[in-house]
Amino acid sequence: MSPGFQGRPRSAEPALPPGQYLTEDFPVLSAGPTPKVPLETWEFVISTETGAEYRWSWDELMGLPQETPTVDIHCVTRWSKLGTSWLGISLDTLLDGIDTAADYALVHSYGGYTTNLPLDDLRGGRAWVAHTYDGGPLAAEHGGPARMLVPHLYFWKSAKWVRGIRLTIEDEPGFWETAGYHDYGDPWREQRYQGD
């Protein structure tokens, strides 16, 4: 018997947030038609509460330092997918040097989708603008050319087809947050609906 054989007990199912089940495929959820966004005209804009705007073209975004997060994702429709691999730009990089007193962020997308979250949740190596999934360009059905990746919150907070972020003093509920879903959406506290 090799010495390491009994060293690591076989764990049972990996830990999932309450009420979630494990899936191996990557379900496609969408609240509307898939926008087609040519890379030549694509842009990402962060605006602040003073009206200042910071813009990146696709080429400018690609020129920024890239990170390779491997993360678990949890959809409020109860599926979770473990160990997903992405390539993207940290929001720490994008927010670096932006002067703001805002406490909240409203992410907006091509196609009109919005979702809100505290600005602090975009900082600290916990949020990315991701353009590559599992080694290939992010498919349009999964939010390509680029989507938000904020895996510590339910996945509706990780807006597909991301176009920009508006930094705000007041919290402004987004698309699902104005229709019954939780303002914050922590999967480990099972914050699915308002009042959870």
Q: Applying CB under 8 A, which residues contact other proteins?
A: 27-34, 76-77, 112, 156, 176, 178-181, 192-193
Q: 171 vs 53, 131, 133, CA distance in Å?
A: 19, 27, 30
Tell me how far, at minimum, the Cβ of 129 lies from other proteins, in Å. 22
18 versus 51: smaller Cβ distance to other proteins: 18
Closest to other proteins by CB, 35 or 69:
35
**Cβ of residue 109: shortest distance to other proteins, in angstroms?**
13
CB of 40 vs other proteins, minimal distance in Å: 22
Give least dist CB 112 to other proteins, A.
8
The percent helix, strand, coil of the chain (3-state, each to 5) is 15, 30, 55
Closer of 45 and 179 to other proteins (Cβ): 179
Residue 178 CB, shortest distance to other proteins, in Å, is: 7
The smaller minimum CB distance to other proteins, of residues 37 and 91, is found at 37
φ, ψ of residue 166 in degrees (nearest 5): -105, 120
Report the alpha-carbon distance of residue 105 to residue 27 in Å, rounded.
Answer: 26
Q: Which is nearer to other proteins, 68 or 77 (CB)?
A: 77
SS (H, E, C) 60-81: HHHCCCCECCEEEEECCCCEEE
The answer to whether 148 and 45 have CB atoms below 8 angstroms apart is no
Identify which of residues 114 and 132 has a Cβ nearer to other proteins in the complex.
Answer: 114
- Is residue 95 within a helix (H) or strand (E), and if so which, with residue range? helix 91-95
Q: Closest approach of Cβ 24 to other proteins, in Å?
A: 18
CA torsion angle 40 41 44 50 (round to 10): 140
Q: 129 with 61: CB under 8 angstroms?
A: yes
